[in-house]
Amino acid sequence: MQPLIAYPAGSLSGDCRVPGDKSVSHRAVLIGALAIGETTVRGLLEGEDVLRTLAAIRALGARAERTADGAWHIRGVGIGGLGEPEDVLDMGNSGTAARLLLGVLAGHPITCFMTGDHSLRSRPMNRVADPLRRTGAEIATRSGGRLPLMITGAADPVPITYRPPVASAQVKSAVLLAGLNAAGETTVIERSATRDHTERMLRHFGADFRIAEVEDGTAITVTGQPELTASAIDVPADISSAAFPLVAALLTEGSRVTFPGIGMNPGRTGLLQTLHEMGAAIEQTNARQAGGEPVADLVVRHGALKGVEVPAERAPSMIDEYPILAVAAAAATGRTVMRGLAELRVKESDRLAAIAGGLAACGVDVEAGEDYLVVDGRGGRPAGGNARAVASHYDHRIAMSFLVLGTAAEKPVLVDDGRAIATSFPGFLPLMRSLGADIRSAEAEGTAP
């Protein structure tokens, strides 16, 4: 356990350089391993989740080395060229790594065993395994479609057309990655748009893509068996990581924080849209492209927020940001209603329950249903902590969200365990402190639960 306590802060200020985008980092490693030649990746997120992906591609026969300048060099083996690993592939806490890698493995005639930590072993994998079985891959899971699992990829993968029953960039990406080694066209038809990092990066490496509007949604088609060519990647700063100091700046009086080089993929900006509707002072400047992704600098200033209705159809563009949005809603004036949140039940924790429990522990009026959350904000600083610690459930986004709440609250907030923060944002604590936040070890303070 690593209990942490966040004390109310004054203003926050400075340049906030957050780590590279986790979603883009995973894909850069995986697709770089399937390309011919050496891919140089700059700005790669070096959190535990991405390090698991790097370890997996090494075990499968690709090379990945970090040079003194911080760049990663990935020597790919070509599509279909991965080899059978000698040991189990341990994906740690990363659902993205596990599900995308399953897509890659489905197109290779090798047998692999995959596991993860306690949290990942409880998360559903059949949503990815079911369509991959249709390509010819054999996948055996524990009851409930859970890890550990065994996969034997298809010797001759079958191209498929698949309509995901729920909006999921991970499912879409896994099917498209499996289709890379299939003779013919693999198509995913989405009823609701999801983040398109995989499509952008495959194009960047030279894959043949086609996107068309059809009667029941958008059809994304990849032509199998291309020769992907190694290409340099500059990973944009992660908007999901930036969300935590960004909301902290919005909620603490007198704050002004700049965020250079933030990824502005349209499938990821739902939080910014919602915060604008709440009245947030967020300015975008210097729009540009980096590694096939749109990027901009953000300038964020403190200001009063109001409650809003967040439509269910926005959920795919901000599914990871609801914990920190709930913290913003706690400081807003009026009621914020968030719908379409069923996916939060099967993240690193039951995030919907974790958000509601944490807010209630901090004196915030909150109601959670099976797929919705209602937060009644009173304006200004939320009440903050009491004798109970907020339970993080070993979930990095829950831990960071409630440390931000403590920074903006009337009283300190104690989070029971901050270890999971390292999975996505290993520099979170020193970065927040550099901006003016006061977050300390609860054990050192003698306030550990």
What one-character DSSP code corresponds to residue 237?
B
Q: Is 378 helix (H, G, I), strand (E, B) or coil?
A: strand
Q: How far apart are CA 113 and CA 334, in angstroms?
A: 50
Segment 271-277 long-range contacts (CB within 8 Å, at least 24 positions apart): 271/239, 271/243, 271/318, 271/321, 271/324, 271/325, 272/239, 273/314, 273/317, 274/308, 274/310, 274/314, 274/318, 274/325, 275/247, 275/250, 275/305, 275/325, 275/328, 277/308
Is 350 a catalytic site residue? no
Describe the crossing of helices 169-179 and 22-34 by its angle, rounded to 10 degrees: 10
What one-character DSSP code corresponds to residue 159?
P
By C-alpha distance, which of 337, 329, 411, 412 is closest to 378? 329
State the chain's maximal CA–CA distance in angstroms.
63
Residue with tokens 């992906």: 53
Looking at this protein, which amino acid is placed at residue 9?
A
Query: One of 320, 395, 416, 417 is an active-site residue; which one?
Result: 320
Q: How far apart are CA 285 and CA 157, in angstroms?
A: 45
Active-site residue numbers? 320
